[in-house]
Structure 1
């Protein structure tokens, strides 16, 4: 009797499993993630990795760095800005934690101090005037260079990252000359010079990014990184942060300029935005915040094949929200692109905001 029941029980179990699979696959209310086209794992033997720690999220960013320190060759610390008088200031809430520098150095990671022209409040845009004023007067340039050297010496930085953005194109020659002077003084003291570059698709002389003469700057700087993100931004319309087609155009432009690619790094975003309809500004989010949001609203992760980007939408209080972000798959596509193009490495903005599985690409 037991022998005759066994085949019947097995048949019932198989039928039940089939029914369960049919229900879960065909139920649109269950969030599902379409599988993206897999990007081949890039060859990473010679592709260096740089990360950035911002002062306003320093704890999670440093935690990410410590957990994945073997991945990195360079680290930048976003702590300083140029004030209206041409003096370097620490952001009010920045913690100059020397233990971060010491930990990085003990793990053979070079550390640079980032100096920006983003005002203290962070609520206004990048200020061109303070950079122009410093560039135009020899005494101010010399004083700024001296300030930089003192800063690097006091905290034992390996170098500096100059992140002066949205400067008037008329300052192009003065900026190039300043970088040449700065590089000479830094190299005399064994320090490195990094420059943050705006993404370029062409050579328009009247564009707000024209102040950066890439060929000239690359002769002085040790490394330059292209901020290949912001294709869609918080005050614009919804869309991918850095679609693969847009990034390809930036990379192609770079390669056509006959530049020393062994100095160039491709900047890759790790964050996302939540755009609410009829709102002027989107909300910036980390990967963890985005995943929590998606799960809270039962939203389905979608994959846009053209842009190689994940996204989803949801409804809240009668308003439609659209979220675009970066995850391991979208990052892998850009890392592979930098690798194929012959760049020296990739740099991530910013640590602590990423899909944790991103680092598996390098392990």
Structure 2
């Protein structure tokens, strides 16, 4: 009897150690899910991509709600053009939800916009009354336009505003639930998620991009080490969070600014310039150099289907199989096929 018990203890100990080595199993981690964003300014080609992978996505996020100069929700003409087509495709897509994504970009009467404005969040979250008014407007919008829920993409939040924002999340979630609506919350990599007491209930989405971009010199939007570092932090998030990857890339002009490119645009540019495409081992991204007609040198980095495959695999090895893609529109067929295989 003593020998049997000892062997049992040894077996359990070995199983625990092995589990620590291999990380979370599929049963303990996330069930694979795939969601994607559709931006109002690129809805036509976005819908073409959506149609190519319908049946594979579990949800779609329509990135289309901003703010006007009075801190009220603002929708572009493109949104009103796209919405009927999006909802029409939704009926035959197999999607669980179509969310309305709200971002803290503010449009001025001149037509110019202030992107990711932290002062806007300060005003919206400042008082009980301002939070209630904002929640009322969000709920009215999802009901008016027929969305299944709200996704909040509030970025560059000031440290002193987080307590009020957390109160807002906690108040908004049950109100949406009463209406049969859902809440998703997008988090920047800079958010101090280990210190924030995020409420249970909403779905959380961690952005795994912007490692390099318009704010930096040339490089990949994400690499393996960056993804591993993020997934090591995501254990502090409630529920089963999504990890978001960004497709496309950037064209850096020597001594100038970076220009965003879709995957299709980057691929065409490489062919037009006769460039040699190379793959970065640390990120899986592809890159190439070329000299423009004005003799200015350029460097392009972007993600293709192999890049996405590697990013998804690295996240999956850490136990995170719920993936969000920023964004649909001018993705190559090979990348779309890769996403379709993600759920198989």
Which of the residues 55, 62, 70 maps onto 2:55? 70
1:132 Cα offset (Å): 0.9
- Secondary structure of the corresponding residue to residue 113 of structure 1: strand
| Correspondence for 1:11 | none
| Residue in structure 2 matched with residue 177 of structure 1 by the alignment | 167
Residue in 2 aligned with 1:254?
234
Within-5 A mapping of 1:93-104: 93-95=78-80, 96-104=82-90
273, 281, 288: which one aligns with 1:305: 281
Q: Does 1:166 align with 2:156?
A: yes
Q: Secondary structure at the match of 2:251?
A: strand
CA contact (8 A) 1:274 1:323 kept: yes
Shift of 1:66: 1.1
Describe the shift of the 1:243–1:290 C-alpha distance in structure 2 as closer, same or farther (beyond 3 A).
same
The structural deviation recorded for 1:144 is: 1.0
Structure 1 residue 286 corresponds to structure 2 residue 262: yes
Take 1:224 and 1:159, find their aligned partners in 2: how far apart are those partners? 13
Post-superposition Cα deviations, 1:114-151, rounded to whole Å, max 9, x if no partner, equal 11101235754311111111111211211111111111
The answer to whether the 8 Å contact 1:218/1:224 transfers is no
In 2, distance between residues paired with 1:192 and 1:178? 15
CA-to-partner distance for each residue in 1:176-210, whole Å, 9 max, x for gaps? 0000000010111111000011015xxxxxxxx34
Q: Which runs of 5+ in 2 are unaligned?
A: 1-25
1:237 to 212, 217, 223: 217
User: What does residue range 195-206 of structure 1 map to in structure 2 within 5 Å?
Assistant: 195-200=185-190
Distance 1:151 1:354, change over 3 A: same
Segment drifting more, 326-335 vs 212-221: 212-221
Question: For residue 16 of structure 2, what is the aligned residue in structure 1?
Answer: none
1:359 matches 2:336: yes
After superposition, residues 115-264 of structure 1 pair within 5 angstroms as: 115-120=102-107, 124-200=114-190, 209-210=191-192, 216-221=197-202, 223-255=203-235, 257=236, 259-262=237-240, 264=241
Runs of 4 or more above 6 Å deviation? none
1:108 equivalent in structure 2: 94
The alpha-carbon deviation at position 252 of structure 1 amounts to 1.4
Q: 1:295, CA displacement in angstroms?
A: 0.6
Q: Contact conserved, 2:103 with 2:152, CA < 8 A, in 1?
A: yes
Q: Distance in 1 between matches of 2:194 and 2:171?
A: 15
- The answer to whether 1:346 aligns with 2:323 is yes
Taking structure 2 as the reference length, the TM-score comes to 0.84
Partner Cα separation in structure 2 for residue 274 and residue 308 of structure 1: 17
How many pairs are equivalent? 307
Q: Distance in 1 between matches of 2:239 and 2:112?
A: 32
Q: Take 2:98 and 2:33, find their aligned partners in 1: how far apart are those partners?
A: 14
Superposed CA RMSD in Å reads: 2.1
Which structure is larger by alpha-carbon Rg, 1 or 2? 1
| Aligned mate of 2:295, from 294, 299, 318 | 318
Matched, 1:270 2:238: no
Aligned match for 2:305, one of 324, 328, 332:
328
**Structure 2: distance between partners of 1:140 and 1:59:** 36
1:85 matched to 2:62? The reply is no
Structure-2 change in CA distance of 1:122 and 1:240 (3 Å): farther
Residue pair 1:79, 1:114 contacting (<8 A) in 2 also:
yes
1:114 and 1:122, CA in 2 relative to 1: closer, same or farther beyond 3 A?
Answer: farther
Q: TM-score, normalised by structure 1?
A: 0.79
Gaps of at least 5 residues in structure 1 are 1-42, 201-208
